[in-house]
Amino acid sequence: MLNEGQHVVALVRDEQKLSDIKSENMTIVEADLTDDFRHAFKGCSTVVFVAGSGGNTGADKTILIDLWAACRAVDYAKQHDIKHFIMVSSIGADAPAEGPEEMQPYLVAKHMADEHLMHSGLRYSIIRPGTLTNNKAHNGFTTQRPSNKDEAIITRADVAKALAYCVAHQAKSNTVKELFNGAKHLDEVMS
């Protein structure tokens, strides 16, 4: 988003995590998602919620971050008249009971947060990426879930590109899309 000249308000728990990024177009707001963070929304028109508790935390952090903080972010967005809310969810959030047992608390949290956003009255885009990888950007996309679970993947870099696309091309209607690496351009799968 910074590369595209957009002004970005970055909410982080520790501003040192962004010390390597320097831009006149970035404002860093230091806050903890388990506390009140509504002040981060002031002056914003779009919210991109990408926070997650991470794979090494327990169910308590999953509930506090992936569910509770996400729902509060939606509520804060309504208070600040946000025009577009973009949520990073997860493949399987549509049917948590069908996911692997060890993933079900996470999928339930994502499901409930998505539902809260869908019923909020806000304009939204929900992105449900496949399994995330740290590989180099593939630059190809599909919204059709591969039948082979090992192919239901997407790079973090490609998810970031999709989020930047959503910010730059505000949705005309509410959307929920699964997203994987594939062979199509972003404008083919996101419009």
Residues belonging to the active site: 106
- The Cα 5–Cα 92 span in angstroms is 34
Distance CA 155, CA 135 (A): 6
SS3 111: helix
Phi, psi of 181 (to 5 degrees): -70, 140
In the DSSP assignment, the letter for residue 122 is S
Task: Output the CA–CA distances (angstroms, integers) from residue 171 to 113, 134, 149, in the order listed.
Answer: 19, 28, 29
Taking CA 145 as the corner, what is the angle to CA 132 and CA 137, rounded to the nearest 5 degrees? Answer: 40
**Amino acid at residue number 100:** P
Residue type, 166: C
Look up residue 146 and give its two tokens.
């591969």
Helix residue spans in the chain (DSSP H): 59-61, 70-79, 104-118, 156-168, 186-190
Query: What distance in Å separates the CA atoms of residue 72 and residue 69, rounded to the nearest whole number?
Result: 5
